[in-house]
Amino acid sequence: MNNELRKSILLHMCCGVCAAASIEKLKHQGFSVIGFFYNPNIHPEDEYIRRLEAAKQTAMILSIPLLEGSYDTCGWMAAVKGLEQEPEGTGSRCGVCFRQRLEETHRKMKAESISCFTTTLSISPHKNAALINRIGSEIGNESFIPFDFKKEDGFKKTLDFSRVHSLYRQRYCGCVFSLNSH
């Protein structure tokens, strides 16, 4: 793509570390990236604030704008009610969580008149990229751009970026259930 044809993309960011390699890949493919930090699943609130600060640092380092969604933990808990005992990573609670965050990202994309959207969630070796991409495509049809950011050493690149820039790197997925499973 040349600069005249650059498409803007709203990138749902789960954290600053995971966003780094995703942003670089999207820029390399010619996208103009706008970050969107929307993660009402993150618990406790001080963890949310640490991850938001790391996302802001990453956005600044990589020169992209960053939008912040609401921190609606009550809405998230209501969405996953009844799924508390599901296994972390493979249970249906994670799919509900992905859907909620991608639905909000899709709404934000439309509200901001951005061309398309995607998510950093697929960069984690602990997350099912096929499931994430299926949910994103169900929500956004052709406005969702599927990626498996962990390919081509994406996850390793995020770790390297976090070390070089001394970014906060979390030790669990983010929700209270994943915190309790570690």
Domain of 120: which CATH number? Answer: 3.40.50.620
Average pLDDT over residues 7-29: 94
Query: Nearest to residue 130, comparing CAs of 163, 105, 102, 95?
Result: 95
The parent domain of residue 103 ranges over: 3-180
Cα(132)–Cα(119) distance, integer angstroms = 8
Query: Nearest to residue 147, comparing CAs of 134, 161, 160, 164?
Result: 134
Q: Do 158 and 16 contact (CB within 8 A), yes or no?
A: no
- Which tops the pLDDT comparison, 5 or 125? 125
Ordered strands of the 66-68 beta sheet: 66-68, 32-37, 8-13, 116-119
Cα(35)–Cα(32) distance, integer angstroms = 10
- The yes-or-no verdict on residue 1 having pLDDT over 50 is no
pLDDT bin (cut points 50, 70, 90) of residue 182 is low
| SS3 sequence of 6-46 | CCEEEEEECCHHHHHHHHHHHHHCCCEEEEEECCCCCCCHH
- The yes-or-no verdict on residue 97 having pLDDT over 80 is yes
Q: Could you give the number of structural domains in the chain? A: 1
Q: Do 55 and 91 contact (CB within 8 A), yes or no?
A: no
- What are the pLDDT digits (tens) for 30-79? 999 999 999 999 999 999 999 999 999 999 999 999 999 999 999 999 99
- Which tops the pLDDT comparison, 125 or 115? 115
